[in-house]
Amino acid sequence: MDLKESPNREFVRHPWELARFTFFRRVLEEAGLDRSPLQILDVGSGDAWFAKELLSCLPTGSTCTCWDIGYQEQALPAAFSDSRLTATQVRPGKVFDLILLLDVAEHVKDDRSFLIDLVSRCARSGTHVLFSVPAWSALMCSHDVALHHFRRYQPSQARALLKDAGLTLGSSGGAFHGLILPRLLNVLKERAFGAPKEPVAESLEWQAGDVLGSVVGQVLAAEGRVSRWLASNKVDLPGLSWWALCQK
């Protein structure tokens, strides 16, 4: 979770965030990346919840370095009570087995130079990179502005970015297909009536109750299974997000 979206207290996580974690965990499992200890770099790790949950699914000896320019030593997220997690505000000076770049590139003005430098310095031959970005430039709206997104990506644009960084694409595709329509309706509403003058980042806290949360979570989980099946069969169905598992 982006630090801008994280309440400064205990809270119930949005079913979308839970489904997103499960989706990417399954992607890594299906690639066999849960069979031996991993040294992981989580770029733009936010409150480090994703990293902590992922480590709980990996063999003993796995560690994760969480790199986020928003970290301040006196106010680190609670997840860093886990000794397997390390926080840093600057790019680490070593290489890793797996690099997580989940919804990060859209925050970087010069995404191409950033990714090329990161891969050249933090990846060795064989390092995997799990990458995701918000998809489709036509869906850019006030939500993206509030989160300081420079862009949303066409899939072809994202593929070119990864290839320019020296990465070979493995599985890839769209995710959260059903969320395109609500976002499109919001974009059309903003075009018709105007966007908020001061966009505010929405919290990913779930406040609609356990029953509805369970239903939404099950729907998103089922959609995630379909997304992975489509990717395994080289069917790139449009989604609100686009992802890829790559290797240097």
Tens of pLDDT, residue by residue over 122-139, are 999 999 999 999 999 999
- Could you read off the pLDDT of 143-158 as tens digits, one per residue? 999 999 999 999 999 9
- Could you read off the pLDDT of 167-199 as tens digits, one per residue? 999 999 999 999 999 999 999 999 999 888 777
Contacting residues for 93 by C-beta, under 8 A, at least 6 apart: 121
pLDDT at position 198: 77
pLDDT at position 73: 66
CB 229 within 8 A of CB 28: no
Res. 5: pLDDT tops 70: no
pLDDT at position 144: 92
pLDDT at position 104: 97
Q: Which CATH class is domain 11-247?
A: alpha beta
Residue that wins the pLDDT comparison between 11 and 239: 239
- Could you read off the pLDDT of 103-116 as tens digits, one per residue? 999 999 999 999 99
Give the pLDDT band (50/70/90) at residue 201: low
Integer Cα distance of 51 and 64 in angstroms: 7
Q: What percent of the chain has pLDDT over 90?
A: 79
pLDDT at position 3: 58
Res. 1: pLDDT tops 60: no
Res. 74: pLDDT tops 80: no
Q: With 0-12 CB in 10 A as exposed, 13-18 as middle and 19+ as buried, what is 16?
A: middle
Quick one: average pLDDT of 190-217? 84
- Spell out the domain ranges in the chain: 11-247
Integer Cα distance of 58 and 138 in angstroms: 38
On whether the pTM is more than 0.75, the answer is yes
Integer Cα distance of 213 and 44 in angstroms: 26
Give the pLDDT band (50/70/90) at residue 70: confident
Mean pLDDT score of the chain: 92
Strands 168-175 and 241-247: antiparallel
